[in-house]
A and B are shown apart, each in its own frame.
Chain A
Amino acid sequence: MEALILTVLLTSVPLIFAATGELVAERSGVLNLGVEGMMLMGAVSAFAATSILGNPYMGILAGAVAGALTAAVFSLFALGLATNQVATGLALTIFGSGLSGLVGAPFVGGTVEGLPNLAIPLLVDIPVIGNLLFNHDIMAYLSIGFLVLVAWFLNRTRAGLVLRAVGNSHDSAHALGYRVLLVRFGAVSFGGMMAGLGGAYLPLVLTPHWSEGMTAGRGWIALALVVFASWIPSRILIGALLFGGITIMQLAGQARGWTVPSQMLSMLPYIATIIVLVVIARNRDFALANSPACLGRLFIGNK
């Protein structure tokens, strides 16, 4: 059982990274559908840097930088030139998938030494949960660290308040003198960095090799997670564990001889997300407080 829970935890890490990043971008009012492309860029850069430099920690850095740079392409068009966000995000996924394949071609067939586990002294000795929670690689800790940081930033800091204001009404935020596009650029770049980290987790920990399209749709799941979490950071954790949990449950169920069609189980998270959407939309106060009203809408002009 412990091993199964561990599997759920690890398979959730890329989702937590990518979804937390996208949450920040969406909170600022930008819908970036290019998560899959940014994750792939993060994955390939992390793998390339690790194989060249022989140090997986450089891989983490490379993944983060690559993700942020890919996001900057999105910003250039969707923010700088006010192109439609949905179309630009889709284009970014096409672009990122292609570019990652191109960059990664020389690395196909290689493998690297992944990130080692860093047990936290004392805590790891706690019975039952010690090994489950405190014996992971650095990125697993980082994912939770970022989640906490984002929650604190959004709710407890002035900058977080500004970011949310920009997402809720860019016109009023602008009237108050905030630089809407700059805030959004920051949020989108952060989202890209996090997606890059999420992608990097694949070749650095989960499956230490590179191959084209290895994220296999996880970027899209991250997008669903943000909505499932109704834009509240802590719920990303619940959502990611739920998505990961259902995947693993479905696999473990098969190993134990369950006969429910796997497709039906795989549908559950998406249907749950729709139900969550309805529930939060019905609760007006909640919706007003948390869903960015300007999500996906264009903001033109700056000074």
Chain B
Amino acid sequence: MSILLSAIEFLHNEPVRVALIVGGGAALVCAVVGVATVMQRQSFAGHALADVSSAGGSAAYLLGLNPLLGFLGLAAAAAGVLEWSEIREARERDLLTGVVLGAGLGLAALLLYFAATVRNASGAALTVLFGSMFTIPATIVPLALAVTVVALTVSALVHRPLLVSAVSVDLARAQGIRVRAVSLAHALALALAVALAAMTVGAILSTALLIGPAAAALRVARRPAAAVALAAAIGLGATWGGIILAYESFYWTPGRGWPVSFFIVALVFAAYLTAGVLATHGPRRAAAHPSGCEAH
């Protein structure tokens, strides 16, 4: 009974509800986009977009705009630079990603410095980089839901062509797939996912939500569709579990809650380790390949 009562109290709390909705949407989008990202070895690019998006978050903080728009704008700009460069060779792409990331973080440093000196908001760095779920304004919910829907639609549309072009660009062209458009659409979905995740766990921790559940799922699932479903379950579980634990933590250390982002990342990491144990000791995969669906 008391558990039920505290559950009702928990759900009646507006910041908690906003966190559950925005975080849930972010977890879903990240699961779908993340599986494709991990399979295409674009984890670094995903992380770079997130880091660059922190400059957008800082700019929004400085100008008093909607933070999701800030994250979104710069993540999309960074994705545009990476796509537009048309560099495909792995080493060069790695370098360009690194340089874009560095320049973006430098810009974030500058904007946060202005936020601290001009607006006297020295907590901005913590909020933008590490997230602050219980302070997300409720006005953000419609936009967050819209972004979630758009991102899910785009990734559902490009899912199959993306897999084909990941296997072979020539094969994709032969099937009439417009490889460049597909890759652009995926970059857009990645930017949307990163922006949502940055809202949830903060710009530099969003990598955990994007890569962690997907990598964990790919360790045990054999087919991409199963991997997406499993990643979504892990992501949602970690995000909502993290919110509940952070809410509870107000009682552990009186007067000071533990950061939500910490719990979410810790749960994601635990899921990843568990998946590793299942993959190596599980009954179904006696002689299996250790790296999930890489062969697809």
A joins B in a complex: no
A residues adjacent to B (C-beta < 8 A): none
B residues adjacent to A (C-beta < 8 A): none
